[in-house]
């Protein structure tokens, strides 16, 4: 079999990673062989993406988004700056919600394939194709001189190493899965049905006032003739008040109401978010994006709803947009905020 030089490097880096000793490692390598054509695919050559890993917001700290015409489809994939980042990205991708439970199948390549195969690819023959490559993967592992670490094992590529169980739990102690931040529930009567429309958008607002309780009262006040409200209002001190259930719609974002979650931030014109408020807002957006699989470009400012308004004011002035900015400038600033603040974390993987 002919492998590219990069592919050979990948195997070495992958096996050197702590998780590279797991029983399912032959299955992962089989994925790399199949998805990258032994390193020859465009995704592998230009983007260090050896597993056809799709773009997801949770990948932001190890990857950037690139649109590629892959043989299967034109889609947004992950671009990795290095093979090391790809290997981290592979574990991170698996740590996402759709693969929850993979650790229960991490001791054996065949069981692992049966578990992740149907989620990873729509091709129903994908698991069969991977299993056919396990022998080749095992050969690559042996060639890298790590087979001596195995301890008996079985004919399914499971090396039976006693180390694995502990390693999986190490990994999972630091896996992705963002919790919903603590909120105070203070319901507004101004809500209505989404009529079956799915949530795919977050609209960011500012209240024009620093007074959280004033806004919360207004969203329940009979004098509020337009019956405006928001799902969440975040105070200057980082308190989050939820006023409308996510499953219901409310009037905050014009044409976007049915599909969106509205987040108000207490702030006067000229105010950026306070540190506490920014922390709370980031935690909330992180969880919403994960929960409803919202694309990052669908986190928008009220101006882009679209509406002639100063909203979201100067919340994002550290990121380059003020109340005088147009929708494009606000969008750029929010996307910068998402990359630099919301989805940047310390390395979540085991050391």
Residue ranges that bind Zn ion, judged by CB under 5 A: 205, 302, 311
Least Cβ distance, residue 237 to Zn ion (angstroms): 21
Give me the residues paired with residue 299 across strands.
202
Q: How far is the CB of 68 from Zn ion (least distance, A)?
A: 36
Verify cis geometry, omega within 30 degrees of 0, for the bond prior to 312.
Answer: yes
Nearer to Zn ion, 103 or 302 (CB): 302
Q: Which of 48, 132, 141 is nearest to 90 (CA)?
A: 48
Task: Using the minimum distance from each CB to Zn ion, give the nearer residue, 85 or 257.
Answer: 257
Our CB check for Zn ion shows the closer of 68 and 334 to be 334
- What is the closest distance, in whole angstroms, from the C-beta atom of residue 334 to Zn ion in the complex? 13
Q: For residue 9, give every residue at least 6 positions away whose Cβ sits within 8 Å of its Cβ, in sequence order, or none.
A: 83
Rank residues 263 and 280 by Cβ distance to Zn ion and give the closer one.
Answer: 263
Please identify which residue in the block is written with the tokens 């001189």: 145
Find the shortest distance in angstroms from Cβ 305 to Zn ion. 8
The answer to whether 237 and 274 have CB atoms below 8 angstroms apart is: yes
DSSP assignment of 28-82 equals HHHHHHHHHTTTTSHHHHHH--SS-PBP-GGGTTT-EEEEEE-SS-EEEEEE-SS
Q: How far is the CB of 318 from Zn ion (least distance, A)?
A: 19
Query: Residue holding tokens 């979540």?
Result: 348
Q: Nearest approach, Cβ of 228 to Zn ion (angstroms)? A: 9
Shortest distance in whole angstroms from residue 309 CB to Zn ion: 6
Cβ of residue 86: shortest distance to Zn ion, in angstroms? Answer: 40
Q: ∠ CA 327-330-334 to the nearest 5 degrees?
A: 135
Q: Which is nearer to Zn ion, 60 or 257 (CB)?
A: 257
When the beta carbons of 74 and 308 are compared against Zn ion, the nearer one is 308
- The residue among 53 and 311 lying less far from Zn ion, judged by its C-beta, is 311
* DSSP summary character for residue 169: H
CA atoms within 13 A on the CB side of 17: 24
Q: Is 326 exposed, middle or buried (0-12, 13-18, 19+ CB in 10 A)?
A: exposed
Nearest CB to Zn ion, comparing residues 76 and 326: 326
Angle made by CA atoms 32, 38, 41, in degrees to the nearest 5: 90
Six-digit token string for 111: 């069981």
């Amino acid at each position: 079999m002919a492998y590219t030089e990069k592919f050979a490097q990948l195997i070495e880096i992958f096996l050197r990673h702590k998780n590279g000793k797991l029983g399912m490692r032959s299955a992962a390598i089989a994925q790399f062989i199949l998805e990258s054509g032994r390193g020859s695919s465009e995704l592998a050559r230009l983007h260090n993406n050896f597993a056809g890993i799709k773009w997801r917001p949770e990948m932001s700290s190890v990857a950037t988004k690139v649109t590629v015409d892959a043989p299967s489809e034109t889609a947004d994939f992950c671009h990795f700056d290095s093979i090391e980042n790809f290997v981290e990205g592979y574990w991170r991708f698996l740590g996402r919600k759709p693969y929850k439970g993979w650790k229960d199948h991490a001791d054996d390549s065949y069981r692992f394939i049966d578990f992740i195969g149907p989620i990873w690819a729509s091709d129903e023959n994908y698991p069969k194709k991977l299993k056919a490559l396990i022998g080749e993967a095992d050969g690559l592992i042996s060639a890298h001189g790590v087979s001596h670490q195995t301890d008996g094992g079985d004919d399914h590529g499971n090396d039976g190493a006693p180390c694995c169980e502990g390693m999986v739990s190490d990994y999972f102690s630091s896996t992705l899965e963002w919790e919903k931040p603590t909120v105070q529930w203070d319901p507004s009567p101004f809500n209505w049905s989404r009529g079956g429309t799915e949530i795919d958008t977050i609209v960011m607002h500012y209240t024009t006032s620093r007074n959280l309780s004033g806004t919360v009262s207004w969203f329940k006040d009979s004098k509020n003739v337009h019956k405006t409200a928001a799902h969440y209002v975040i105070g200057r001190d980082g308190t989050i008040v939820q006023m409308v259930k996510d499953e219901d719609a409310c009037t905050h974002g014009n044409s976007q109401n049915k599909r969106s979650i509205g987040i108000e931030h207490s702030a006067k014109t000229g105010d950026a978010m306070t540190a506490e408020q920014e922390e709370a807002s980031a935690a909330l957006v992180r969880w919403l994006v994960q929960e409803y699989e919202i694309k990052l470009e669908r986190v928008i400012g009220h101006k882009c709803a679209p509406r002639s308004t100063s909203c979201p004011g100067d919340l994002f002035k550290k990121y380059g947009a003020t109340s005088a900015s147009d929708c494009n400038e606000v969008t750029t600033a929010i996307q910068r905020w998402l990359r630099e603040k919301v989805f940047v974390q310390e390395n979540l993987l085991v050391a």
